[in-house]
């Protein structure tokens, strides 16, 4: 299978306020009429918190492929949840969203207040340590992977 050129996929489209309102109203209808709503998130939800994505024009992997060293000036641990994170938390709290599945490991969903039992972080979470004896989880305010040997 041939690889698809990513350039068109990577450009960001900003909708007009009218189009955005129309899309939001459609989303509200879909959620209201759903038996069960699961939300799947990726890097885009955290880029507004200045956390770089991996594949975007300034993404970590994109820069690495170009032989450039990505900036380490952004500390995900110091970032705050975005408006989208807070909206998801409220949708969970009010019973409109049953579960959030995230590809992100930045911890912003947890810090937004989404309960742990309503969140699956498929790539893990850089702020959670698990005791190897009892499996208890400890949420830290620092990146636990720094000295773990994982890169």
Q: Tell me whether residue 117 is one of the annotated catalytic residues.
A: no
Residue 85 to residue 106: CA distance in whole angstroms: 12
Q: Is 120 helix (H, G, I), strand (E, B) or coil?
A: strand
Catalytic residue (one of 85, 99, 109, 123): 123
The 8-class DSSP code of residue 14 comes to -
| Cα atoms found within 13 Å of the Cα of residue 71, Cβ hemisphere only | 10
Contact 70, 63 (CB under 8 A): yes
Our CA dihedral for 131, 133, 135, 137, rounded to 10 degrees, sits at: -20
| Number of residues written out for the chain | 151
- Could you list the active site residues? 123
């Amino acid at each position: 299978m041939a690889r698809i050129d990513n350039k068109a996929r990577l450009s960001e489209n900003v909708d007009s306020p009218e189009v955005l309102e129309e899309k939001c109203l459609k989303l509200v209808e879909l959620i209201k009429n759903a038996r069960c709503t699961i939300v799947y998130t990726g890097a885009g939800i955290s880029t507004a918190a200045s956390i770089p994505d991996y594949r975007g024009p300034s993404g970590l992997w994109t820069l690495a492929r170009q032989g450039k060293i990505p900036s380490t000036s952004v500390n995900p641990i110091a970032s705050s949840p975005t408006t989208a994170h807070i909206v998801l938390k409220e949708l969970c709290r009010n019973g409109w969203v049953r579960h959030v599945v995230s590809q992100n490991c930045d911890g912003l969903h947890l810090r937004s207040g989404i309960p742990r039992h309503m969140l699956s972080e498929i790539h893990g979470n850089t702020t959670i340590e698990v005791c190897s004896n009892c499996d208890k989880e400890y949420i830290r305010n620092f990146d636990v992977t720094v000295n773990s040997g994982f890169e």
